[in-house]
C-alpha cells in the first residue's frame, strides 16, 4: 500500500499490533472510494440520460424496485460484516499479549507518566523497551482517566484509577515513538506526552542496569516484605499449604471457582479487588473472614504485592 497511505498514518513501527489496523483502514478507504466513484458516475450519467427533453415529457410513476433495493442493502451489509470480522480479529490480537512479553508498569497522573521496571527502576515520561520483543504495559492512573496512545504502534488504551488495564506492542527496529494522552484530563492534557525509546536487547539491558533503582529493592522484594509486615501470610500460605485463605502459591493465572458457582482467572484486577474488597468474590470452600486493606496499602504497595504473587509459581 505504501506511499498512497503515508499521508494518513505515520510509518508502522509495530506490525504485530498494527498491520491489521492498517489493512482494515486501507480496505475501508478503497471500498469507499469505489462506491463514491460509482455513485458519482451513475449520478452524472442518469442526469444526462433522463434530462427532461421536451415540454410534454412525463415522469413515469415508479414506486419501488425489489431487485435494486435488495442489491443496495445486501452489498453494504456484507461489507460491514467483513469490516466487523476483520476488526474483531485484530481487536482480539490486541487484547492478548504474548506470554513471553516483557512487562513494564505504567502509572499515569495529572500530567505525566511514570514507568516502573522489574529491577525497581522508575523513569518519568520516557519508556525504554527492547526491540524485537513483545512488551506488555500494565497501567493504572493515580487520579483521573487518561489514555495511552502510540500512533506509530497503532495502540490506544484507557488508563483508569482503581483498575489495571494492559496494552502490548512489539517495536521491530530501534528508534523513538511519540506517546500521547488521548483522554481529556484537565489543563495540561495536551502536554501529557512521553517517548518510547526502542533499543536492541543488549542496549536495553545496559540501559536498565544503569538506572538508579533508588535502593528500595525491586517490586518483588517490596511485595514479599509487605505480605509479611501486613500479616497476609497469617492466612495465606506461600508454599501451597492449607490455611484460612487460598494459598498465594500458583494463584496468579489460576482458574478459581467462587462460592456462587462462577469461575474466573486470578489476574491483577481480581487480586486488587480481593485486597480492597475481600467479600466481593470468595473462593469456593472458604469463608468471608478478611478485612479490607483499603487505606492501609497504597496503589504501589498493591502492585508490588501482585508482582510478588506472580513469582510464586506451583
Ligand atoms: Cu492525561 Cu489527558
Cell output for 168: 502490548
Q: Which atom of ligand 1 is nearest to the CA of 189?
A: 2
Q: In sequence order, what are the residues at sequence separation of 6 or more whose Cβ sits closer than 8 angstroms to the Cβ of residue 216?
A: 120, 222
Specify whether the CB–CB gap between 248 and 238 falls below 8 A.
yes
pLDDT recorded at residue 161: 92
From the CA of 289, how far away is ligand 1's center (Å)? 39
Domain boundary among 210, 232, 255: 210
Contact 139, 173 (CB under 8 A): no
Q: Is residue 225 part of a domain?
A: yes
Q: Which atom of ligand 1 is nearest to the CA of 183?
A: 2
CATH code, domain carrying 68: 1.10.287
Give a yes or no: residue 25 inside a domain.
yes
Q: List the grid coordinates of 82.
A: 467483513
Question: Using a 6 Å cutoff on CB, does residue 194 contact ligand 1?
Answer: no
C-alpha cell at position 58: 412525463
Ligand 1 proximity of 146 Cβ (cutoff 6 Å): yes
Domain assignment present for residue 106? The answer is yes
> Would you tell me how many other CB atoms lie within 10 Å of the CB of residue 153?
26
| C-alpha span between 160 and 149 (Å, rounded) | 14
Query: Under a CB-based contact definition with an 8 Å cutoff, are residues 185 and 149 in contact?
Result: no
pLDDT digits (tens, 9 = 90+) for 271-309: 999 988 888 888 988 888 788 888 888 888 888 899 899
Instruction: Please report, for residues 49, 96, 149, the alpha-carbon distance to residue 25 in angstroms, rounded to integers and kept in the order given.
Output: 36, 21, 18
Q: Which of 210, 234, 262 is the last residue of a domain?
A: 210
Are residues 249 and 168 both part of a single domain?
no
Residue 2, pLDDT > 60, answer: no
150 and 193 co-located in one domain: yes
Question: What is the atom index within ligand 1 of the atom nearest the CA of 190?
Answer: 2
181 lines ligand 1 (CB under 6 A): yes
State the alpha helices, DSSP H only, in the chain: 3-6, 15-49, 66-95, 201-210, 219-229, 232-235, 268-276, 299-311
Per the listing, cell 530501534 goes with: 174
Give CA torsion, residues 270, 275, 281, 285, to 10 deg: 110
Mean pLDDT of the region 224-232: 81
The total of other beta-carbon atoms located within 10 Å of residue 117's CB is 20
Q: How remote is the CA of residue 192 from the centroid of ligand 1, in Å?
A: 6
| Listed range (191-195, 238-242, 253-257) with the worst mean pLDDT | 238-242
d(CA 310, CA 233): 15
| 55 falls within a domain | no
Range(s) of the domain holding residue 164: 102-210
Whole-number pLDDT of residue 169: 96
- From 164, 183, 210, give the residue that closes a domain: 210
Residues 198 and 231 in one domain: no
Contacts with 14 (C-beta within 8 Å, 6 or more apart), sequence order: 150, 152, 153, 154, 155, 169, 170, 171, 172
Q: Which atom of ligand 1 is nearest to the CA of 184?
A: 2
- In the chain, the largest separation of any two C-alpha atoms, in whole Å, equals 98
Ligand 1 centroid vs 144 CA: distance in angstroms? Answer: 8
41 to 47, 48, 90, 232, 272: CA distances (angstroms): 10, 11, 34, 73, 60
| Distance between CA atoms of residues 240 and 152, nearest Å | 44
| C-alpha 181 – ligand 1 centre gap (Å) | 4
Give which of 113, 310, 304, 137 is closest to 218, Cα–Cα: 304
* Pocket flag, ligand 1, residue 268 (CB < 6 Å): no
**Number of separate domains in the chain:** 3
Enter the pTM of the model: 0.77
Q: Indicate if 88 and 110 belong to the same structural domain.
A: no
Does one domain contain both 182 and 241?
no
Measured from the CB, is residue 184 less than 6 Å from ligand 1?
yes
Q: 288: CA distance to ligand 1 center in Å? A: 38
- For position 270, what pLDDT does the model report? 92
Residue 1 inside a domain? The answer is no
Q: Is the CB of 179 under 6 A from ligand 1?
A: no
Structural domain includes residue 265 = yes
The CA 139 to ligand 1 mean position distance, Å, reads 13
Residues 196 and 269 in one domain: no
* Cα–Cα distance measured from residue 199 to residue 310, given in angstroms and rounded to the nearest whole number: 26
Distance from the CA of 196 to the center of ligand 1, in angstroms? 17
Among protein residues, the one whose CA lies closest to atom 1 of ligand 1: 146
Residue 161 near residue 127, CB atoms below 8 Å:
no
Kindly state whether residue 286 falls inside one of the protein's structural domains.
Answer: yes
* Domain membership flag for residue 89: yes
| Ligand 1 and 189: CB distance under 6 A | yes
Q: Is ligand 1 within 6 A of the CB of residue 183?
A: yes
Q: Per residue in 98-145, pLDDT tens?
A: 989 999 999 999 988 999 998 888 888 899 999 999 999 999 999 999
* CA 255 to centroid of ligand 1, rounded, Å: 35
223 and 289, same domain (yes or no):
yes
pLDDT at residue 1 tops 60: no
Q: Which atom of ligand 1 is nearest to the CA of 182?
A: 2
Distance from residue 113's CA to the centre of ligand 1 (Å)? 10
Residues 157 and 177 both lie in one domain: yes
Q: What pLDDT sits at residue 127?
A: 94
Give the CA angle between residues 211, 301, 120 to the nearest 5°: 10
Residue 259: CATH number of its domain: 1.10.760.10
DSSP summary character for residue 62: -
Instruction: Give tens-digit pLDDT for 20-49.
Output: 999 999 999 999 999 999 999 999 999 999
Amino acid at each position: 500500500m505504501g506511499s498512497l497511505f503515508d499521508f494518513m498514518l505515520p510509518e508502522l513501527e509495530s506490525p504485530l499490533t498494527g498491520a491489521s489496523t492498517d489493512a482494515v483502514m486501507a480496505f475501508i478507504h478503497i471500498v469507499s472510494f469505489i462506491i463514491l466513484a460509482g455513485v458519482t458516475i451513475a449520478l452524472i450519467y442518469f442526469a444526462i440520460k433522463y434530462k427532461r427533453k421536451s415540454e410534454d415529457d412525463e415522469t413515469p410513476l415508479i414506486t419501488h424496485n425489489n431487485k435494486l433495493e435488495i442489491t443496495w442493502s445486501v452489498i453494504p451489509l456484507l461489507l460491514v460484516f467483513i469490516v466487523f470480522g476483520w476488526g474483531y480479529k485484530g481487536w482480539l490480537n490486541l487484547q492478548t499479549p504474548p506470554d513471553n512479553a516483557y512487562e513494564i508498569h505504567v502509572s499515569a497522573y495529572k500530567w505525566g507518566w511514570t514507568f516502573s521496571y522489574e529491577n525497581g527502576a522508575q523513569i518519568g515520561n520516557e519508556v525504554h523497551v527492547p526491540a524485537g520483543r513483545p512488551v506488555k504495559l500494565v497501567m493504572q492512573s493515580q487520579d483521573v482517566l487518561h489514555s495511552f496512545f502510540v500512533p506509530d504502534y497503532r495502540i490506544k488504551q484507557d488508563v483508569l484509577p482503581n483498575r489495571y488495564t494492559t496494552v502490548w506492542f512489539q517495536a521491530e527496529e530501534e528508534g523513538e515513538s511519540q506517546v500521547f494522552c488521548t483522554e481529556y484530563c484537565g489543563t495540561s492534557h495536551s502536554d501529557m506526552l512521553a517517548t518510547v525509546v526502542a533499543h536492541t536487547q543488549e542496549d536495553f539491558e545496559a540501559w536498565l542496569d544503569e538506572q538508579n533503582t533508588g535502593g528500595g529493592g525491586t517490586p518483588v522484594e517490596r511485595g514479599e516484605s509487605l505480605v509479611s509486615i501486613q500479616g497476609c501470610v497469617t492466612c495465606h500460605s506461600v508454599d501451597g499449604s492449607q490455611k484460612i485463605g487460598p494459598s498465594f502459591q500458583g494463584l496468579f493465572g489460576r482458574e478459581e471457582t467462587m462460592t456462587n458457582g462462577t469461575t474466573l482467572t486470578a489476574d491483577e484486577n481480581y487480586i486488587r479487588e480481593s485486597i480492597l474488597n475481600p467479600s466481593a468474590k470468595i473462593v469456593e470452600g472458604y469463608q468471608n473472614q478478611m478485612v479490607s486493606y483499603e487505606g492501609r496499602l497504597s496503589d504501589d504497595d498493591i502492585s508490588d504485592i501482585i508482582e510478588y504473587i506472580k513469582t510464586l509459581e506451583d
